[in-house]
Amino acid sequence: MPHPEFAAQLGVKPADIFHVLEDRHGVLWFCTTAGVARKVGGSIEKLQPFGPASHGALRAFEDREGTIWFATTDGLFRAAAGGLELVAPGMNVRCLYEDRDGDLWIGTNGDGLIRLRDPTVQMFTTADGLPNRVMMAVLERRDGTLWTGANCGGVSRLEGNRFRTYNEKDGLLNSCVFALAEDASRDLWIGTWGGGAFRLRNGAFTQFSKPQGLPGDVVTSILPARDGSVWFATNNQGVARMWNGQIRSYTVAAGLSSNFILSLFEDTASIIWVGTREGLDHWDGDRFIKIPSLPKSPIATIGEGPSGSLYLFAYPGGIFRMRDNHTLNVAPDLSATTMLATPDGDVWFPGVRINRVRGSSLGQLQGPDEPLDWVMLGQEDGLTSIEASSGHPNAALDRGGKLWIATPQGLANG
């Protein structure tokens, strides 16, 4: 159906109209050698600059938000209230496509394939009330409040859009926080570097350190177990268990493969697992039993799958899945200290890098021609640090499905 009147109204030759797009509101957009124009109702508006010295437009594209993008030989533009807005100068754009995640893919002439995305991560720092940038641990409690621990900064609770911090002035006598946990009584436990552990109950902090029976004052992980006991990982001093107010310590003499503890974990069968510098052990009620099928190397239990399989990180080796003491290497290229599954089935592995794996891909056996489907968050996503901190836990999923990650450059949320 010819429309010779459009070329006449735009002041260009018919062959100089390269693309016409009708958007969701019924507006017609024209891409021409003279620039971009649009037809609203019965009138045509030429977006400035329009004419011989303008940016010739090749194609128009409407994304899911209703933004209109234009591919030109001078760069990537989008429609704005005041006309055309230059987004990427000098980019020789040829084609545009939007994927299911809302990312805009740009095919160029000479500059390769480019992905344009809005930052998916918001960073919280001292500007938001945090005591410093070095966040070590993050935890959502049963009442829905979010808490984070800072290296020599104390613990902070998110109140609205800002954090309130508790430190020495509030009774937390050591503010170098490395671990957070909540027990069945809804008490908050805090592991510190040099002050032992602290319990926050009814607004008051109580200290548990060497004088109270802990083997050391550096507590890197805390595990409140289902039987009411609380386990503590200490720096090269083994583990300690508090039961009915009494603290008992366990070292290699009690079966631990090493006194250097990397992780504490309780599975759905209420088995306590301890990852050490020299292997993986489990508690049998009296002493620890080493898993002989695993190598004598640093191993940390990071999570449990829906089928009851344990997920481990071994160095070197990557991420393994273990069931009935049989292990399978499912992600040799990834590292992690935590494993979090989202409601939609994806799995996050924060560690030296912050990776997301498709749950369907993780659950399948990976052959040599079946690479794991995973992506890594980076600075282009809004992160100021591409690694998670080494505290426990270093990541949390809130009840809204949002992911929180403690990093050396602040608290990430996305």
Q: CATH number, domain at 251?
A: 2.130.10.10
Number of domains, the chain? 2
pLDDT confidence bin for 367, thresholds 50/70/90: low
Centroid of chain to Cα 279: 27
My answer on whether 140 and 108 are in the same domain is no
The answer for residues whose C-beta is within 8 angstroms of residue 225's C-beta and 6 or more apart is 231, 266, 270, 272
Using the 8-state DSSP alphabet, how is residue 185 labeled?
A: T
My answer on whether 143 and 231 are in the same domain is yes
Is a pLDDT exceeding 70 seen at residue 58?
Answer: yes
My answer on whether 138 and 242 are in the same domain is yes
Integer-rounded Cα Rg, in Å, for the chain is 28
How many C-beta neighbours within 10 Å does residue 34 have? 23
pLDDT tens for 13-37 read 889 999 999 999 999 999 999 999 9
pLDDT value for 365: 55
pLDDT value for 83: 83
My answer on whether 112 and 155 are in the same domain is no
How many C-beta neighbours within 10 Å does residue 40 have? 11
Average pLDDT, the chain: 91
My answer on whether 73 and 104 are in the same domain is yes
My answer on whether 286 and 407 are in the same domain is yes
My answer on whether 211 and 287 are in the same domain is yes
pLDDT value for 180: 98
The answer for residues whose C-beta is within 8 angstroms of residue 167's C-beta and 6 or more apart is 131, 153, 154, 155, 175
My answer on whether 170 and 287 are in the same domain is yes
pLDDT tens for 204-251 read 999 999 999 999 999 999 999 999 999 999 989 999 999 999 999 999
Is a pLDDT exceeding 70 seen at residue 370?
Answer: no
My answer on whether 251 and 376 are in the same domain is yes
pTM above 0.85, yes or no: no
CA dist., res. 204 & res. 169, Å (int): 12
pLDDT value for 369: 57
My answer on whether 171 and 62 are in the same domain is no
pLDDT tens for 116-151 read 876 678 999 999 999 999 999 999 999 999 999 999
| Residue where the block lists tokens 């930052």 | 119
pLDDT confidence bin for 306, thresholds 50/70/90: confident
* CB distance 335 to 315 below 8 Å: yes
Is a pLDDT exceeding 70 seen at residue 366?
Answer: no
Could you give the maximum distance between any two Cα atoms of the chain, in Å? 92
Asked which of 89, 116, 143 is the last residue of a domain, the reply is 116
Asked which of 67, 97, 116 is the last residue of a domain, the reply is 116
CA dist., res. 292 & res. 411, Å (int): 38
CA dist., res. 70 & res. 78, Å (int): 6
My answer on whether 126 and 196 are in the same domain is yes
Which domain does 88 fall in, by range?
4-116
Torsion angle of alpha carbons 336, 338, 340, 345, nearest 10°? 30
pLDDT value for 297: 95
From 119, 117, 92, select the one nearest 107 (Cα to Cα): 92
Mean pLDDT to the nearest integer, 308-320: 93
Beta bridge partners of 407: 410
CA dist., res. 136 & res. 157, Å (int): 14
Asked which of 116, 134, 167 is the last residue of a domain, the reply is 116
Question: What are the φ and ψ backbone dihedral angles of 245, each rounded to 5 degrees?
Answer: 80, -5
Is a pLDDT exceeding 70 seen at residue 388?
Answer: yes
pLDDT tens for 103-117 read 899 999 888 998 887
pLDDT tens for 75-98 read 899 998 778 888 888 888 989 999
Higher pLDDT, 111 or 267: 267
pLDDT value for 237: 95
Q: In a 10 Å sphere around its CB, with 0-12 CB exposed, 13-18 middle and 19+ buried, how is residue 152 labelled? A: middle
* CB distance 151 to 177 below 8 Å: yes
pLDDT confidence bin for 293, thresholds 50/70/90: confident
My answer on whether 104 and 178 are in the same domain is no
